Amino acid sequence: MTCRSSKAGARPGLTARVALLLGSVSLVSCVDGDYNKFRIYQEPLMEAVDSLKPGVTDLESALEQLGAPLFVIEVGLGMSLAWGWQNTTDWNIEVSVPVGDAAGNFQYADTSAQIQGIVLFFDESWTMTSMQKGFLADLVPKRQRPRDVDDDLSGPTVP
Amino acid sequence: MHHPLQNSPLSRWHRTTVRGAAAAILALSVQSCVVSRSVTNPAIPAESVAQILPGQSTADDVARLLGAPNEVVQLGRKTAWRYEHTVEKQSGLFLVLLGLRGVDTQADRVWVFFDEEDNVSHIGSLLQAAEAEYDLPVF
């Protein structure tokens, strides 16, 4: 038994072929999209950030202006304090289409899922020496083993 | 040829149940939503934080008021203690082809700095955990 859907020798039109292709793809593929919103912590007031001055601002005023930091990391004889936040929306679209025995997969992600932040550096007297802004992952110094307490020149000497 | 149970009440009940289950599965797959809330560490009472006074409070006072810290950072002969309480609220609406998801993470966080004698020298706090919201993204 044979089954013919068109006249012998005739080819289906372009519209029919496109419809057939789209129909096939939609039936056998998987399209999935996500629209996400992330809010992690909160950005400090810019007026508070702008009020911080290297060489002038001490730890007390920095904590008063910005509140508790995310991280405190020892840096040399001083330290760095980091504040971070994220407030973003992003798209994530994934299309999976079987191609023969294999599976084709396409993914589009419009994401800026990085925490922005401010890092303040303090010297051994806990006076601010510099400020950096940007993505926190790029700014935060790597944690190291704590220094030897004998290196702490600002502290009392051990008898 | 007809099956002997084809039109019996049992057969009709079976077909109705199957159709109902199929409709329920279809409805669930078409649209669902999720709401969740997760908390890390106990809340930090603002009145306890207010009792920690630089120049007066000691490490013992801080431990009595806030308990064991989540982190201790050594700064030469000085130290800093971190207390943190986090609330994450997540909401999502999932359609056939599109999912909408909102995640809000807020924290109560306190850093207490001690001098060489374990006396409080500085304190910084942010109490924002209660501000976490269930919030779906809008276009």
* Interface confidence (ipTM) of the complex: 0.76
- In sequence order, what are the residues at sequence separation of 6 or more whose Cβ sits closer than 8 angstroms to the Cβ of residue B28? none
The mean of the pLDDT values for chain B is: 89
Number of Cβ atoms within 10 Å of the Cβ of A50: 9
* Type of residue at A74: E
If pLDDT is split at 50, 70 and 90, which confidence band does A27 have? low
pLDDT number for residue B15: 76
* Of B68 and A20, more confident: B68
Strands A128-135 and A71-75: unpaired
A88 pLDDT more than 70: yes
The mean of the pLDDT values for chain A is: 80
CB B52 within 8 A of CB B123: yes
Domain B31-131 sits in CATH 3.30.1450: yes
pLDDT number for residue B3: 55
pLDDT number for residue A67: 97
What is the Cα–Cα distance from B10 to B12, expressed in whole angstroms?
6
Contacts of B103 in chain A (CB under 8 A): 36-40
Contacts of A93 in chain B (CB under 8 A): none
If pLDDT is split at 50, 70 and 90, which confidence band does A2 have? very low
If pLDDT is split at 50, 70 and 90, which confidence band does A158 have? very low
pLDDT number for residue A26: 55
Domain boundaries, chain B: 1-30, 31-131
Helices (H), A1-159: 14-28, 46-50, 59-66, 136-139
A37, containing H or E segment: strand A30-40
What is the Cα–Cα distance from B134 to B139, expressed in whole angstroms?
16
Query: What is the per-residue pLDDT across A95-132, written as a single tens digit (0 to 9) for each?
Result: 877 777 777 777 676 655 588 999 999 999 999 999 99
- In sequence order, what are the residues at sequence separation of 6 or more whose Cβ sits closer than 8 angstroms to the Cβ of residue A61? A52
Residues B100-119, mean pLDDT to the nearest whole number: 97
Residue in A35, A68, A155 closest to B126 by CB = A68
What is the Cα–Cα distance from A85 to A117, expressed in whole angstroms?
6
Q: Is B91 on the interface with A (CB under 8 A)?
A: no
What is the Cα–Cα distance from B18 to A80, expressed in whole angstroms?
64
A3-12, A16-25, B26-35: least confident range: A3-12
A53-62, A92-101, B102-111: least confident range: A92-101
- Distance of residue A65 Cα from the nearest chain B Cα, in angstroms: 9
Question: How many Cα neighbours within 13 Å face the side chain of A19?
Answer: 5
Q: Is A34 on the interface with B (CB under 8 A)?
A: yes
Chain A 68-87, residues with CB within 8 Å of chain B CB atoms: 68-70, 72-74, 77, 79
Query: What is the per-residue pLDDT across A128-150, written as a single tens digit (0 to 9) for each?
Result: 999 999 999 888 877 777 777 66
* Of B83 and A148, more confident: B83
